[in-house]
């Protein structure tokens, strides 16, 4: 297997600086012009946030016009992240959890074990879409993933992400009766995206109580386990990647096989599925 170089830094122990991946590298030769682009999927395991972020930046900076798009599937150790618009007053009690000021969009969120993150390294110009359409497709993929577990995922106008009805959620305000189960944070640079989507599977949700999630004091955060869905991290990751690939690649992976293959290359995605 090859290795994706995730550099050590002050917040990344040297032993976790290199993460094993599928046999391909961000520097792999670009696809020839006029050929179908495959969507490459990488499973990074558990990796530090800063190391993964820097690797995304290097990948994007080194892209060529025909570099295949990639999805990176990862789980992070505990970390709070502030987006470009993030305000420190939304960090209520960080205790000993690291805080990273990131270049993604949005306010403050928490990443930790039991959460599936999919980072989306896409050339939006080649896909012919803008960021609003990208967000819509990601949200659709999350809702389809949740539906496969009989969970009712919903959008809330003006608040990107996916929400679910939950009796324990605050009943007042813009989220009345709903809790957030998936968060989005995107950065677009020269028409290419970094960062992506986080879906809560089976987490320690207490750190979310030490922030105003996404900048909202009234927002309750939830995961599949709290909803009574005994899903495994790997299974949720497989289902989410399969749905994302259906919406963002020129081809659709066979069900359950998205993470088993380096390149997804089956039947073209139908426009009506978007």
- Which percentage of the chain shows pLDDT scores above 90? 54
The DSSP H or E segment spanning 32 is none
As annotated, the active-site residues are 214
SS3 192: strand
Q: Find out whether 274 and 247 touch, Cβ atoms under 8 Å.
A: yes
Token pair of 86 as six digits: 């993030």
Structure confidence by residue, pLDDT tens digits, 23-43: 333 333 333 344 456 799 999
Summarize pLDDT for 54-73 with one digit per residue, the tens.
Answer: 999 999 999 999 999 999 99
CB atoms within 10 A of CB 230: 8
How far apart are alpha carbons 62 and 70 in whole angstroms? 13
The pTM of the full predicted model, rounded to 2 decimals, is 0.79
The residue count of the chain comes to: 274
What integer pLDDT is reported at residue 273 of this predicted model?
27
pLDDT digits (tens, 9 = 90+) for 6-19: 533 333 332 222 22
To the nearest whole number, what is the mean pLDDT of the chain?
A: 79
Distance CA 183, CA 126 (A): 25
| Stretch 133-153: mean pLDDT | 97
CA atoms within 13 A on the CB side of 179: 19
For residue 124, which phi and psi values (nearest 5 degrees)? Answer: -65, -30
- Please tell me which residue, 82 or 64, carries the higher pLDDT value: 64
What are the Cα distances from residue 3, in Å, to 28, 41, 154, 199, 257?
A: 13, 14, 38, 25, 21
């Amino acid at each position: 297997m090859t290795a994706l170089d995730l550099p050590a830094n002050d917040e990344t122990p040297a032993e976790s600086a290199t993460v094993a991946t599928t046999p391909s590298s961000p520097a792999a030769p670009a696809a020839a012009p006029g050929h179908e682009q495959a969507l490459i999927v990488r499973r990074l395991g558990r990796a530090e946030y800063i190391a993964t972020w820097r690797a995304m930046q290097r990948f994007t900076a080194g892209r060529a016009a025909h570099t295949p798009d990639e999805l990176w599937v990862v789980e992070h150790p505990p970390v709070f992240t502030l987006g470009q618009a993030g305000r420190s007053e939304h960090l209520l009690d960080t205790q000993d959890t690291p805080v990273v000021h990131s270049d993604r969009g949005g306010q403050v969120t928490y990443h930790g074990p039991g959460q599936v993150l999919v980072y989306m390294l896409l050339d939006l110009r080649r896909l012919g879409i803008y960021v609003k359409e990208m967000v819509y497709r990601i949200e659709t993929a999350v809702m389809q993933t949740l539906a496969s577990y009989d969970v009712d995922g919903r959008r809330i106008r003006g608040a990107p992400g996916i929400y679910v009805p939950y009796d324990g959620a605050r009943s007042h305000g813009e989220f009345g009766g709903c809790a957030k189960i998936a968060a989005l944070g995107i950065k677009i640079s020269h028409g290419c995206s970094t960062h992506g989507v986080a879906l809560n599977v089976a987490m320690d949700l207490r750190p979310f109580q030490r922030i105003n999630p996404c900048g909202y004091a009234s927002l309750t955060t939830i995961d599949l386990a709290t909803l009574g869905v005994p899903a495994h991290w790997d299974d949720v990751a497989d289902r989410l990647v399969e749905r994302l690939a259906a919406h963002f690649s020129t081809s659709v992976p066979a069900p359950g096989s998205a993470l088993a293959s380096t390149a997804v290359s089956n039947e073209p995605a139908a426009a009506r599925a978007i």
